[in-house]
């Protein structure tokens, strides 16, 4: 299982939100590029970069910052936040993003997802962000009348190969992931699932690996030092080898 450090960008700075609340932010660094380099130096094999302002605005905002990160790094970067159109996706891919994450568009424009998956089958990720089991959209500011599991099933039928599942109530809390809801989405031979939200220590990463997650996105725990990336990578590799 891949451990994927998160870099959330708001007002040009690297921040973490509490349960997705834009008024409850902690600023960890004024230079997202420096943070990205730090995670690469510590062994990251992929980064998860989200344009929080873009998610709220409905279109990418921090294109220059994300472009600098993608161009500078030698590892793949998955990018999300405000990706609502084919042009948004094409722009991110032209910047050099390896994967592009769409959430709101999956709910409101499934035909777009069908088209994008046909054109970029391995580059499209659908982000399923849930609050009390229901999908949140528009930067988590709105709630759709669709259950997370139903959205995953529908998107899988359209050909989506990879999902990120986030329980918003756990995100940024350093509590623990929602194992049950995450496991419900994982099926043998089915789409890959990346877990996100609430990860606080290496034992939780191990449990996510055991239930079959392809990856785990870690944010606040890396910034607070509750998880040290090199040690977590070694620990996970050791247990998987055993």
Residue 88 annotated to the active site:
no
- Please compute Rg for the chain using Cα positions: 16
pTM of the model: 0.93
Smallest Cα–Cα separation from 73: which of 100, 120, 34?
A: 34
- Average confidence (pLDDT) per 10 residues, the chain, 242 residues: 97 81 79 97 98 93 97 96 96 97 94 97 95 81 85 96 91 83 92 95 96 96 96 88 64
Catalytic one of 8, 53, 88, 167: 8
Closest C-alpha to 69, from 103, 38, 43: 38
Delineate the domains of the chain, giving CATH numbers in brackets.
2-241 (3.20.20.70)
Specify the 3-state DSSP secondary structure of 25: strand
pLDDT given for residue 70 in this prediction = 96
Residue 129 annotated to the active site: yes
Count of beta carbons in the 10 Å neighbourhood of residue 122: 10
Give the active site residue among 53, 88, 129, 171.
129
Looking at residue 230, what is its pLDDT? 97
How far is the C-alpha of 203 from the C-alpha of 185, rounded, in Å? 21
pLDDT at 19: 64
Quick one: tokens of 197?
């939200």
Report the pLDDT value the prediction gives residue 199, as an integer from 0 to 100. Answer: 95
């Amino acid at each position: 299982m891949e451990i994927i450090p998160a870099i959330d960008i708001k007002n040009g700075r690297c921040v973490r939100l509490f349960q997705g609340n834009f008024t409850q932010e902690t600023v960890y660094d004024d230079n997202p590029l420096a943070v990205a380099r730090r995670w690469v130096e510590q062994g990251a094999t992929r980064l998860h970069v989200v344009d929080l302002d873009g998610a709220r605005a409905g279109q990418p905002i921090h294109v220059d910052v994300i472009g600098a990160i993608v161009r500078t790094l030698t590892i793949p970067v998955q990018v999300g936040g405000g990706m609502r159109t084919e042009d948004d996706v094409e722009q991110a891919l032209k910047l050099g993003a390896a994967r592009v994450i769409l959430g709101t568009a999956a709910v409101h424009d499934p035909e777009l997802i069908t088209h994008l998956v046909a054109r970029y089958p391995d580059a499209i990720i659908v982000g399923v962000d849930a609050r009390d089991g229901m999908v949140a959209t528009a930067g988590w500011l709105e709630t759709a009348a669709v259950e997370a599991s139903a959205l995953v099933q529908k998107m899988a039928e359209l050909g989506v190969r990879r999902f990120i599942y986030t329980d918003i109530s756990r995100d940024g809390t350093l509590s623990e992931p929602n194992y049950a809801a995450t496991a419900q989405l994982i099926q043998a031979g089915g789409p890959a699932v990346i877990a996100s939200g609430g990860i606080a220590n290496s034992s939780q990463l191990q449990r996510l690996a055991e239930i079959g997650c392809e990856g785990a996105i870690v944010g606040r725990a890396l910034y607070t030092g509750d998880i040290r990336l090199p040690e977590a990578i070694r620990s996970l590799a050791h247990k998987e080898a055993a």
